[in-house]
Structure 1
Amino acid sequence: MTGVGVEVLGVVAVGIGAAAVLFASFHALRKAGIEIPRWLLPAGIGLAMVSYSIWSDYSWYGRAVDRLPAGSEILLVGHKKQAWAPWTYVFPVAVRFAAFDPATIQDDSDGVRHGQIMLFERRGQTLIVPQDFDCQGSRIRRAGADWTTADESDPAFLRVCSGARG
């Protein structure tokens, strides 16, 4: 099941749980003589489902970071504003990030360092991208590509090559 499928299943489960709790509560209130408007049941279920969806969107980044290997560092975080969620125009939601595990750094005899960049995307697959770093020559080589000049502000280059250049 994909990430979207799991989310839909979670929203449906929250809806069913909210329906059970609200139905039992409203039934008890009616037995006690308190009349509850019938529209409150579907409104409460809908509110629970929307609340869960918002919580899931905003907590995804923190939950994903918590699952990273110990010592991993976040390189970049991408935020997005979504038309179907107007509150994201005020509080953009994290939808992707790049992380680096320093334990993956390996040195070659020719001075090239190898590392793995982890790319995470909300509702997408996680990618592990191996990269080579020539710290002395300020170059990066992505898997299956040629050497390119490293941008001195590239967070992966800065992290892998910190202390490696002489």
Structure 2
Amino acid sequence: MIWHLIAALFAGLAAAGVGLLLRSLSGKRLPRWIIPVCGGLGILAFQIHHEYSWFHYKQQQLPESAKVVSTEEERMFWRPWTYLFPLTVAFSVVDRDNVVTTQGNEERLVEFILYRFEKEYIDVVKHQAHLMNCTARETLPLMGDERRPRVSELRRVEASDPLFQAVCPTP
């Protein structure tokens, strides 16, 4: 967090320097307020770049076996540019190396862990074990250390769902 603040400060100083250079090159015909305006725009541009590059940066940190299965985008009124380009604020990942497949009653069952990354002032990572019936295309969360299925949260998934395609590849 402190490094982000320092980087934003230096981006603002650099942009203010560009404003000062422009004012000098114009023979001081540009108004003096151009310098702090350029500084503020530099800080704003750095912050926007940082927010939009978060998802790509986090994806690069994941192992090769990780597959992004969903993303969450938001639009915020205090960030009007997000109405044109929505900001990715969360995504879910399945690590295909940690998928356990079993056969039971002529049905293929897959146990996996779904990781959810959320962009907050500090990054939040949550994980939840799940069980998917690849034959019936149903999934449900597993609760606790003993991994009891929570049947009340059973839901069907489509064959085109990225989660289904990641954990139940066609043989």
The two structures share one fold, judged by TM-score above 0.5:
yes
Cα distance in 1 for residues equivalent to 2:155 and 2:89 = 26
TM-score for both structures, normalised by structure 2? 0.74
Q: Please, which runs of 5 or more residues in structure 1 have no aligned partner?
A: 1-5
Structure 1 residue runs of 4 or more that deviate by more than 6 Å after TM superposition = none
Cα distance in 2 for residues equivalent to 1:25 and 1:61 = 31
CA RMSD of aligned residues (A): 3.0
Q: Do the aligned partners of 1:138 and 1:149 also contact (CA within 8 Å) in 2?
A: no
Q: Which moved more, 1:151-160 or 1:58-67?
A: 151-160
Q: How many residues align?
A: 157
Q: For residues 75-113 of structure 1, what are the alpha-carbon distances to aligned partners after superposition, in whole Å with 9 as ceiling and x for unaligned? A: 111111110111111111111111112111113464532
Larger strand percent? 2
- Structure 1 residue 142: Cα displacement: 0.6
Cα distance in 2 for residues equivalent to 1:23 and 1:97 = 38
Q: Which residue of 1 aligns with 2:124?
A: 125
Matched letter for residue 54 of structure 2:
W
Q: Which residue of 2 aligns with 1:146?
A: 150
Q: Do the aligned partners of 2:130 and 2:141 also contact (CA within 8 Å) in 1?
A: yes
The answer to whether 1:113 aligns with 2:110 is: yes
Q: Which residue of 2 aligns with 1:57?
A: 51
TM-score for both structures, normalised by structure 1? 0.76
The answer to whether 1:81 aligns with 2:67 is: no
Q: For residues 112-137 of structure 1, what are the alpha-carbon distances to aligned partners after superposition, in whole Å with 9 as ceiling and x for unaligned? A: 32111111111141112211223234
Cα distance in 2 for residues equivalent to 1:82 and 1:89 = 7
